[in-house]
Structure formats: structure tokens, C-alpha cells
Chain A
Amino acid sequence: MSGCPGSRTMDFSEKDVQNESETGKRQSQLRQWPIQLHLVSPQAPYFQEKDVLLVADCVPFALADFHKDYLKGKSIAIACPKLDSDQEVYIEKVKSLIDDSKINTLTVIIMQVPCCFGLVQVAKGGAEKATRKIPIKQVVVGIEGGVLSEEWI
């Protein structure tokens, strides 16, 4: 067990799944396109005065009820703080979301691996540059899908 925790190979396919119902269809709670942070315009109508999620790329794969528990009623932008380039653009976009689109809150959802905390730094960087102040929440998701922490920062 060595190397970067963000890319270390782990297999939890033997994990017990308890009492989960797979019957019925669920509807997507996504109400916008695009979603990648480089592709979205921070001034898009779907961001205006909304509660916005800034989500690390891996999160929706780990968090089984992501649509129901987090995406519902919110707008979203996704990014990978480890692999994406030109992240100074991301900071400017967060600033613009806060100042120009006057978003209500920003919730940053990341994986527990250390490199993912870079996305929180992006959010904080944009918030520090912005004139308006808004509440920012940090949610950390474990690699096996549990919510490890949820707090206002």
C-alpha cells in the first residue's frame, strides 16, 4: 500500500450490499448542459441566484444517491483538480458565479483522496476574489461511497 492514494489500486468488489431495492426507475435530476467547468458559462441562466454544486468528477460514481440527495434542485459544475489544466480559469469562473450570477450557496463535493482537496482550494480562491460573500459547504465522499463529512467552511 504505497504511492498516491488518488490512483492507488483497490478492489472492494466483495463488499456486502445490504437491503437495496433496485426496482423502479429513477429520474435524472440534471437540469442543465454542459456541466464541465471549462465548458459552462458562469453567467448561464441556470446559475442565476441558484444553489450550485462544484463536484469532483469521481463523486457521482461513488455516491449512489447523488441525484436524489445532492443534485436535486441545484445547478452543477464538475472538474478534476488532479488532471484538469488551466485551473486559474476555474478560479475566475467561481468568482464570476458568485459576483455575476449571484449564486446563493456553493457546495463543493470531493472524494477523500488528498488531491481532491485542490477543488476546495479552487472554490476558496474564487470566493476570496469575489466581492460578494456566500456560504460554502464542503462534502467529502469516501471511495466506498459513504459521506465522510459535511460542513460549512
Chain B
Amino acid sequence: MENILDKEIKGIIDAYPEVGKILEEYGIGCAPCSVGSCLMKDIVGIHNLDPQQEATLMYRIEKAVYPGRDIPEPKVDLTKKAAPKKIMYSPPVKKLVDEHVLIKRLLALIPSVVEYIENNVEVDKELVLRCVDFIRNYADKYHHMKEEDILFKYVDENAEIIQVMYKDHDTGRNHIRQVVEGAENGNKAQIKEHLFGYRDLLTQHIKKEDEILYPWIDRQLSDTQVGEMFRRCNEADASVGDELPKKYENFINKLEEKFLKEVVK
């Protein structure tokens, strides 16, 4: 089993698809992950399953990988703390979760924005660039930079799960560069492809952060670190001023109003 624990999850699922299905049953969505470079042992640790669940999961995976082996029934380490039923975030992490809400509101509008662009003769460049402005300055500069400059510094930045997050941020930036190029050239297909690409990427990315990464980081933080991170995030927010989040919330409100009206028309 040890050699399986040290392997990348994508390789394991490619070789033994049943493992992906077993992980799904435990709410561990590695099968559709585009990167899949997390090690098996990290995945099990990160999800903070209770001891009985973890032992049963590992037993089933081992049976799937080595069907011919005589594998002993799972031993349960009752000294391990069970996972809390409800996710409880520390205040600085809760702030980051709350910021996801505004980003998710834009992601929900992307199909309407794309449909609007496709149905008009000329590309509404201003609309596209205003969405890009939100993504670059709120989602990326205001939110992702706090993750990269503050949050991720409290854990091992070389951990695969953190590397996956960095890669997602970079992939998102590439999608947005393509969207801008599409807007400059009036290329509707290019805008559509990369706005949808961004939406799919960020939807999964935010889900991973809210449900897996942030709780995992929170479990490792001491009270002192929580206080320090809270202060550093507040300082980062103060450096851009109160107006920035208000401005982008206002933008999303107006965008929702515009497309709600479009639907009603």
C-alpha cells in the first residue's frame, strides 16, 4: 500500500478507474481534476475523514488496486479526531470564502454575457472589457493575491494542492488574455471559448478551496497565526481602500439587472 500512497492520483485513477469512483463516494472529486498531481497520501490527509471512513476508504482502494491480495480488514485509529460535520472557517479565511460569492455571481452571468455577444452583430467590447476588469482587479488582484501573498505562506507552498491552486490561477489568467484578444479582434468564438473555460475552471477552483483547501489550512493554523493573518488581510484590504469591493459589487448588481431585463424582454 505504501507505494500507492506515494503516487500521483491521476496515474492511479488512469490505471485503476475504480479508485476514482470510490473516491467520489467519499466526496473526494479527484477524477475530473485537470492536474491530478496530488499524492494519494496527501489527498487522504487533506480531506480529514473520520478514522472509520479513512480506514474503509484505504481498504477499498487497496482491494481495487490489488484484487488478488489477501488484505486485512481495516484497523481503526480511534485516537484520531473525527472530521467536524459543519465547516467552520477562521475569520480571515471566512472573509476569503465571502469574496468567492461575488466571483460566483459573475460566473453565473457568463452564459448570458456570451449569448448577448453572439446575438449582436458587433462584439460589445466595452462589456467584455468590464467583465475582464472585474476578473483582473477583483477576482485576481484583490482576492487571489491575498491567497498567494498571505494565506498560502502559512502552509508548505510546495504541497501539491497549493501548486494546483497556483496553476489554476495561471490558467485563469491565460483564459482572460485570450478573452481580451478576442474582444480586440471581434472574435466571438474566441471570447466564448475562453469565458466558458474561465467559468468552468473557477467553478471547480472555488469549490475545491471552500470545501477542501481552506478547511485544511484552517486546521493547521494556531490562534496566533489566525490573528496575524486577519491583521495582514485587513492591511491588504485597507491598502486598496473600501471603494474597490463596493465598486465591483455595484458592477455585478448592474450586470445582473441588465441581463435579468434581457431575459424578461
Report chain A residues within 8 Å CB of B223: 51, 74, 104-105, 107, 135, 137
| Main SS class of interface, B | helix
Cα–Cα, bound, A80→B94 (Å): 31
Chain B 203-246, CB-CB to A under 8 Å as 1, else 0, gives 00000000000000000000110111011001000000000000
Contact A151 B92 (CB under 8 A): no
The segment from B29-37, B83-91, B117-125, B155-163 that touches chain A is B83-91
| Nearest neighbor of A153 in chain B, beta-carbon distance | B91
Taking CB atoms and an 8 Å cut-off, the chain B residues in 55-112 that contact chain A are 88-92, 94
Contact B226 A135 (CB under 8 A): yes
Question: Known contacts A134-B230, A135-B230: does B224 contact A152 (CB below 8 Å)?
Answer: no
Report chain B residues within 8 Å CB of A6: none
What's the tally of chain B residues with a CB closer than 8 Å to chain A?
A: 14
Report chain B residues within 8 Å CB of A133: 230, 234
Chain A 115-153, CB-CB to B under 8 Å as 1, else 0, gives 000000000000000000111010000000000000110
Taking CB atoms and an 8 Å cut-off, the chain A residues in 102-120 that contact chain B are 104-105, 107
Whether a CB of chain B sits under 8 angstroms from the CB of A73 is yes
Cα–Cα, bound, A43→B228 (Å): 20
**Min CB–CB distance B7 → chain A (angstroms):** 36
Selected contact of A152 from candidates B90, B228, B231, B234, CB within 8 Å:
B90
Contact B227 A104 (CB under 8 A): yes
Contact A51 B90 (CB under 8 A): no
Contact A104 B94 (CB under 8 A): no
| Nearest neighbor of A53 in chain B, beta-carbon distance | B223
Report chain A residues within 8 Å CB of B234: 133
**Min CB–CB distance B19 → chain A (angstroms):** 35
Cα–Cα, bound, A152→B231 (Å): 15
Cα–Cα, bound, A134→B234 (Å): 10
Question: Known contacts A133-B234, A152-B94: does B88 contact A105 (CB below 8 Å)?
Answer: no
Contact B226 A151 (CB under 8 A): no
**Min CB–CB distance A115 → chain B (angstroms):** 25
What are 14 pairs between A and B in contact, CB < 8 Å?
A74-B223, A104-B224, A104-B228, A104-B231, A105-B226, A105-B230, A133-B230, A134-B230, A135-B90, A135-B91, A135-B92, A152-B91, A152-B94, A152-B226
Apart from A104-B223, A133-B230, 17 more pairs, CB < 8 Å: A51-B223, A51-B224, A73-B224, A104-B228, A104-B231, A105-B226, A105-B227, A105-B230, A107-B223, A134-B230, A135-B223, A135-B226, A135-B227, A135-B230, A137-B223, A152-B88, A152-B89
5 shortest interchain CB distances as A-B pairs: A104-B227, A105-B227, A135-B91, A105-B223, A135-B230
